[in-house]
Each structure stands twice: as C-alpha cells, then as structure tokens.
A and B are shown apart, each in its own frame.
Chain A
Amino acid sequence: DAMVIQNPRYQVTQFGKPVTLSCSQTLNHNVMYWYQQKSSQAPKLLFHYYDKDFNNEADTPDNFQSRRPNTSFCFLDIRSPGLGDAAMYLCATSRDDSGGLNTQYFGPGTRLTVL
C-alpha cells in the first residue's frame, strides 16, 4: 500500500562524505518534491521536478543536487554534507494541476545524521 517510499529511513554519514537519499512512488505522479526539515522547524522546499524539468529554489545550496531518472524515482545527492545538513528529508509527489486542487503525498522521510 505504500505510495511514497523513502530509503533509507535513517542515514548516518561523515562530514564531507557524499550521500544519496532515495525516493520512489507508485502513484504515477508527474511532480516530485524534496523538502528539508530541521528540528522543530517547518519543512523547506529544496527543489522539485515537473516531469523531467528540474526547478531549484533560489536559496538551495549548491551542495544539494537531484536526479530523476524516470517517473517513479527521484534522488537527493548531498555532495559534501556539513553538520548543518543534519535534518529530516521529506519526499513528496503530486499530480500536477493548474487549479491547485491536488494534494501532495509525503513519504516517511529520511533522517540524516552527520558525524
């Protein structure tokens, strides 16, 4: 029944060691999002894919990149994690609509720890 799947659920990496977080969906939605949520803060949008079109938020650090090889999968790559990148990373999907009727479906998140 899982619709938006994130792997792993918990990831520990070392300072500066590249890490990749994975998201997959069974909903066949054309839009996929990555959010960063630090402790006791609101989720913050990093970027999203509209089909294959990549849309980066202006304040997303260059250290964060993303790949979407097909409709079902989307990856978040952190090239050189710093201590400040420790957070919960949330993936979400939606079916695009111009009228804003459709909700976003969120995965369970990956909690990243940077040592």
Chain B
Amino acid sequence: KQEVTQIPAALSVPEGENLVLNCSFTDSAIYNLQWFRQDPGKGLTSLLLIQSSQREQTSGRLNASLDKSSGRSTLYIAASQPGDSATYLCAVRSSNTGKLIFGQGTTLQVKP
C-alpha cells in the first residue's frame, strides 16, 4: 500500500530564506508526483507536476525534484515571502491504481 510522508509537519522561517520541504513515498510505481498549495479553509492549487521519467520541474521561485528510486521528492522555495505561508501537500499518482495518494502536508509560515 502506497504511503506518503511529509516532514516536517510545520516550518517557520524569516522572510527571504531559501527552504526545502520533503516528501517520501513507499512505492516507486507511480505515474507522477505533484505538489499542491492549500491556503487555510481553501481548496488545492497545483504548483508543480513531475512525471515519473522526469527529475525536476521549475516554476518561478519553486523547484521540485523527484528521485523515484529512493522514493523522495523535495520542493525548494527560493527567497521566501510572507505570501508563501500556506500548507504544502505532496501527492503521488499510483500507476497500480491510478489514484492520487496525499501526504499530510507541511504548514509553512514565513515571518516578515
């Protein structure tokens, strides 16, 4: 059974810092891995999607990497801003079931 874990559960950093969020998964049989952002009380916004054949994807200040063999992904946020404060969820799409399996998220607070 695929399990997705995100560490840390919460993170607080001063504005301007570069930071890394971690995601690990137990089964490498995946189609892709996706990072989402969730603001309090809101839905999910897709940030980056990495196909299983890819190593990384970039969008603006965000860079996501994928190491399928070791079951790990990282989300790198450069020059963090208070507006980056949110919960970041990692999800893998299982190639066995086609379903999206989520981690519990990392809640990020960027202090001005």
Contacts and interface: CB of A to CB of B under 8 A. Distances in A.
- Considering residues B4, B36, B43, B95, which has the most beta carbons from chain A within 10 angstroms of its beta carbon? B43
B104 A42 contact: yes
A2 to B, nearest CB: 11
Contacts of B36: 106
A101 B32 contact: yes
A106 B103 CA distance: 16
Interface of B: 4, 30-32, 34, 36, 41-46, 49, 51-52, 89, 93, 95, 98-100, 102-105
A106 B37 CA distance: 11
Given A100-B98, A103-B34, A108 B104 contact: no
Interface of A: 6, 40-45, 88, 90, 92, 99-101, 103-109, 111
B98 A107 contact: no
Interface majority SS (helix, strand, loop, mixed), chain A = loop
Contacts of A6: 43
A66 B41 CA distance: 23
A43 B31 contact: no
A101 B33 CA distance: 10
B32 A100 contact: yes
